[in-house]
């Protein structure tokens, strides 16, 4: 199959899948999501993504549709059925179906959506351009909620400006990007914002911290300012589909480019982990 969709046990190609209009995801965006990439029909860091799915459900008082093991089994089975060697794997859990009412009933039966299509991760060594905007999102950015309209609008403005991403800041504090975590390198140290309500604790961000410590690269987990970002030795992004994209321009101003050796060590390590753990020879 070229694509594959799933809704509460029903499977078909994406162009044939439908969902009920009463699903609260349609009227309220009442749900959570997660995504990962697969190569050689192996999903990278699936366990970590599934664990985050259940944590997001807990934070929004959504009853999970199944156990972590069952969700992993469903996803792995679907990945095996899609022809493409490289795939984007997306899933979401909505609170359930009911007549439209802001207040939800206790213990609703949640709905599970899964979408799989051919897609590759970004070129790790590509250099990208950003725009910046004030972060006007709500204060639950730590939850991977379906409520993404600010990110949708900002990502579109970035695209119209000929850029790849939009970096957010609350006042002078840099938070994250529309769909990526952002980090800087200064004086040999990687600085990454703390995992609080202002950012999503990305799985790739967690890997970055672990890999830097493994390689002896100092990591400082703290907020940093717009001025610190603009004057950093390097600025880079991580997400499920990007293993350390170096930023070369923000709002039309050249940035970074002063710690290429550290930057490449990080990129090489993150990419090699993805390749190793999605190898067809992996037992």
pLDDT at 232: 98
Mean pLDDT of 12-29: 97
- Check if 4-118 and 127-277 are the same fold: no
Tell me the pLDDT tens digit for each residue of 117-127. 999 999 999 99
pLDDT of 282 reads: 64
Domain chopping of the chain, boundaries: 4-118, 127-277
Catalytic annotation on 10?
no
Q: Are 19 and 26 in contact (CB under 8 A)?
A: yes
* The two structure tokens encoding residue 99: 């007549």
The CATH code of the domain at 127-277 is 3.20.10.10
Q: Report the alpha-carbon distance of residue 7 to residue 2 in Å, rounded.
A: 17
Which residue in this structure is represented by tokens 């860091």? 45
Residue for token pair 């909505």: 94
Overall average pLDDT of the 66-73 stretch:
98
Q: What percentage of the chain exceeds 90 in pLDDT?
A: 99
pLDDT tens, position by position, 125-173: 999 999 999 999 999 999 999 999 999 999 999 999 999 999 999 999 9
Task: List beta partners, residue 276.
Answer: none
pLDDT at 175: 98
8 Å CB contact between 170 and 135: yes
CA-atom Rg of the chain in angstroms: 19
Q: Is the pLDDT of residue 248 over 60?
A: yes
* 163 phi/psi in degrees, rounded to 5: -115, 170
User: Above pLDDT 70, what percent of the chain?
Assistant: 99
DSSP state of 241: T
Answer yes or no: pTM beyond 0.95. yes
Domain 4-118 coded CATH 3.30.470.10: yes
Active-site residue, selected from the candidate residues 10, 109, 144, 186: 144
Q: Is 253 exposed, middle or buried, given 0-12, 13-18 or 19+ CB atoms closer than 10 A?
A: exposed
Q: What is the pLDDT of residue 281?
A: 76
Residue owning tokens 């999501």: 33
In order of 19, 32, 103, 108, 276, the CA distances from 98 in angstroms are 13, 17, 11, 9, 44
pLDDT of residue 72: 98
Mean pLDDT across the stretch 224-244? 98
pLDDT at 283 over 70: no
What's the whole-number average pLDDT of the chain?
Answer: 97
Q: Mean of the pLDDT values across residues 68-78?
A: 98
Mean pLDDT of 28-35: 98
Q: What torsion do the CA atoms of 16, 22, 25, 28 make, to the nearest 10 degrees?
A: 150
- pLDDT the model gives residue 130: 98
219-223 mean pLDDT: 98
Asked whether the beta carbons of 93 and 66 are under 8 A apart, the reply is no
pLDDT(193) > 90: yes
Average pLDDT for 171-195? 98
């Amino acid at each position: 199959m070229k694509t594959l969709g799933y809704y509460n046990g029903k499977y078909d190609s994406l162009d044939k899948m439908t969902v009920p209009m009463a699903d609260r995801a349609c009227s309220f965006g009442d749900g959570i999501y997660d995504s990962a990439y697969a190569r050689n029909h192996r999903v990278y860091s699936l366990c970590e993504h599934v664990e985050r799915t259940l944590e997001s459900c807990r934070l929004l008082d959504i009853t999970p549709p199944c156990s972590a093991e069952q969700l992993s089994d469903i996803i792995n089975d679907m990945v095996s059925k899609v022809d493409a060697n490289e795939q984007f794997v997306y899933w979401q859990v909505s609170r359930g179906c009911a007549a439209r009412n802001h207040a939800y009933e206790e213990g609703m039966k949640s709905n599970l959506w899964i979408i799989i299509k051919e897609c590759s991760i970004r070129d790790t060594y590509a250099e990208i351009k950003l725009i910046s905007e004030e972060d006007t999102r709500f204060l639950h950015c730590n939850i991977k909620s379906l409520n993404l309209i600010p990110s949708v609008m900002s990502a579109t403005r970035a695209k119209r400006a000929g850029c790849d991403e939009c970096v957010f800041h609350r006042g002078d504090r840099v938070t994250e990007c529309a769909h990526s975590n952002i980090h800087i390198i200064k004086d040999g140290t990687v600085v990454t914002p703390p995992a609080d309500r202002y950012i999503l604790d990305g799985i790739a961000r967690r890997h970055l911290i672990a890999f830097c410590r493994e390689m002896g690269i100092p990591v400082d987990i703290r907020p940093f300012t717009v001025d610190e970002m603009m004057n950093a030795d390097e600025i880079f992004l991580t997400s499920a589909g990007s293993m350390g994209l170096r930023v070369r321009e923000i709002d039309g101003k050249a940035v970074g480019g002063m710690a290429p050796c550290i930057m490449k060590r990080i990129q090489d390590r993150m990419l090699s982990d993805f390749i190793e753990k999605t190898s067809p020879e992996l037992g």
